[in-house]
Structure 1
Amino acid sequence: MWTISLSVLPIFLLLILGHVLRRWQFPGEAFWPLADKLTYWVLFPALLFYRTTTAPLGGEMVGTFAMALLGALIISAVIAVGSARLFGISGAVSGSLFQGATRHNTFIAFATADMLFGSDGLLIAAVATSILVPPTNLFCVTALVLYQGKTGTTSLKKRLVQELARNPLLLAIGAGVFLNLSGIGSLPVIHDMANILSRAALPTALLCVGAGLHIRAMKAETRSLVISSICKLVLFPAVMIGVILATGLDGTAAVILVIYGAVPTASSGYALAKQLGSDADVMAAIITIQTFLSMITLPLSIAVASAYFLGGA
């Protein structure tokens, strides 16, 4: 446990550094929104494109990954919807609760896989991201639209197409998967350029995640903070471990899937909440509290997974 905590500590130190730099307004207040856009639209898509182009997407592993990841996602989504109804939470807040319970911070997942398992971990993380990002976005956009009472089929389909078609992570994954499965493989020059950009993706992304944390927002609606945090940081990884056991997966791949289940919700959920009418303040609070709590829960989840699937922490 201690060794794992030390291994992932640099990731959280980068988050804290990003938050401190923004609080000190260094290098300037206008810098961080622009850096966040650069990461979301250029650097991280380059990383996903580079990795998915050469990732092992064929064979039995992908099917097993899909069962584990999608099984855990669906179960967690059902729990989130049921919890919102059980506690009578409003539609706008329920949308943020749903995102908090189901989305995953790909930046932290990638960085953790890299720190613990190196390039092999990044390849497995690329496969996991390729499988999990599309349905997660589909679920969240659908839920947020429906929670706003826009149940018309045309309205829902329009929003889904708009949000999915302009998602740079999905576009990068789609391009990489196409080149991979078509046999074309990596493109000269383009692949090298993506590789160079990808080296800046994770540190910049982690600094931006830290800069985007809102301490004051943690005073928001308490029930949603508690429910979403339990769903995402406790139930999601527990369900993930259960589904992994059911599929028979083990080794490094199993641990990385647990990492995807145990990371906090995605910081991009804040922008989606604002766009689709959910309570953005609650979403900001959920992102912040989960990120801080994951400093404890993520190493613990990895330690449990390592002890079982790798034979030791």
Structure 2
Amino acid sequence: MWTISLSVLPIFLLLVCGNLLRRNGFPGGDFWHNADRVVYWVLFPALLFYNTTTAPFNDAIVGIYAAALIGGLVVTGLVSLALVWLFKIPDPIGGSIFQGASRHNTFIAFAVANYMFGDQGLLLAAVATAVLVPPTNLVCVSVLVGFRGASGTMSLKRRLGREIIRNPLLMAIGAGAILNFTGIGPIPVINDFAGILAKAALPVALLSVGAGLRIKSIHTGALYVTISTLCKLLVFPAVIAATVVFFGLHGMAAMVLIIYGTVPTASSGYALAKLLGADAEVMAGIITVQTLLAMITLPLSLTLAAHYFMTP
């Protein structure tokens, strides 16, 4: 327990540091807003591209990762929508609940995989991200548009196309995957350039995630936060763990899947909620509560998983 907790602790200290810096007005101005943009448009795409070009996309790993992650996404999403319908929750709030239940914080997942397993962990994290990010974005945009966005002038098909085209994470994954699958592999200079940017991605991203936490929003909609959090931190990892056991996956490959199952929801869900008419305040509460709870649940879950999946 202590070994894993200590390996994860620096990640959460970066979140705390980012929050304290923002709350104390340092460095001031629009710094944190612009830092988010740099991470989203430059640093993290570089990290994804750099690792996707050399990620081990063999049939066995990709198949198991797809079954676990997409299976978890589908089951968790359906459970959250069923609970939204059961409790007769308004559509804008339902969109935020769905996002909180189904999205995952890739920044934290990458950081944990890196701290626990080094470069090999990052390569497997790239596989998991390449498998999970495209369907997650498609599903979340579809549900939010279905709840609220369809009332506008933009159709679901057009909205989906726009979100796909403008998503830098999807473009980075696609470019890296093409180089990987075609056998071209890393391109000199360009890959080195991406690698230098990638080194800055995780620390800046984690500081920005911490800065984006809104402690005052914790009390926003206890029922909504509870539903979303139980789905994300209980149902999602349970589906992934069951799939890992079913396929008999062990070692580092199994642990990276568990990491993706146990991280909190993505902070980017707040911006998408505002863009597509979901309840942004509820989304802020969900992000904050899940991230704070993950400081306890993540090391605990990884300790239990390591006892089962890392033993000979």
In 2, Cα distance between equivalents of 1:11 and 1:29: 25
Any conservation in 2 of the 1:218–1:286 contact (CA below 8 Å)?
Answer: yes
* Structure-1 residue corresponding to 2:10: 10
- Aligned AA (2:97): L
In 2, Cα distance between equivalents of 1:132 and 1:165: 17
Any conservation in 2 of the 1:68–1:247 contact (CA below 8 Å)?
Answer: no
Any conservation in 2 of the 1:70–1:132 contact (CA below 8 Å)?
Answer: yes
Any conservation in 1 of the 2:149–2:276 contact (CA below 8 Å)?
Answer: no
Q: 2:141 matched to 1:146?
A: no
Q: 2:59 matched to 1:81?
A: no
Any conservation in 1 of the 2:68–2:239 contact (CA below 8 Å)?
Answer: no
- Aligned AA (1:279): D
Query: Deviation digits for residues 95-120 of structure 1, max 9, x if unmatched?
Result: 00000000000000000000111111
Instruction: Give aligned-pair identity as a percent.
Output: 59
Q: 2:298 matched to 1:298?
A: yes
- Two-structure CA RMSD over aligned residues (Å): 1.5
The structural deviation recorded for 1:184 is 1.2
Any conservation in 2 of the 1:56–1:127 contact (CA below 8 Å)?
Answer: yes
In 1, Cα distance between equivalents of 2:71 and 2:105: 18
In 1, Cα distance between equivalents of 2:107 and 2:115: 12
- Quickly say closer, same or farther: Cα 1:188–1:149, change in 2 above 3 A: closer
The structural deviation recorded for 1:149 is 6.6
Tell me the matched-pair count.
312
The structural deviation recorded for 1:236 is 1.0
Query: Deviation digits for residues 176-199 of structure 1, max 9, x if unmatched?
Result: 001110111111111000000000
Any conservation in 1 of the 2:18–2:209 contact (CA below 8 Å)?
Answer: yes
In 1, Cα distance between equivalents of 2:219 and 2:280: 13
- Aligned AA (1:42): V
In 2, Cα distance between equivalents of 1:268 and 1:280: 11
* Structure-2 residue corresponding to 1:231: 231
Unmatched runs of 5 consecutive residues or more in structure 1: none
The structural deviation recorded for 1:303 is 1.1
The structural deviation recorded for 1:150 is 2.0
Deviating 4+ runs (over 3 angstroms): none
Unmatched runs of 5 consecutive residues or more in structure 2: none
Any conservation in 1 of the 2:149–2:277 contact (CA below 8 Å)?
Answer: no
Any conservation in 2 of the 1:22–1:29 contact (CA below 8 Å)?
Answer: no
In 2, Cα distance between equivalents of 1:246 and 1:86: 31
In 1, Cα distance between equivalents of 2:128 and 2:65: 7
Query: Deviation digits for residues 244-266 of structure 1, max 9, x if unmatched?
Result: 11222221111110110110000
The structural deviation recorded for 1:151 is 8.1
* Structure-2 residue corresponding to 1:182: 182
* Structure-1 residue corresponding to 2:101: 101
TM-score (norm 1): 0.97
In 2, Cα distance between equivalents of 1:65 and 1:236: 14
- Aligned AA (1:167): N
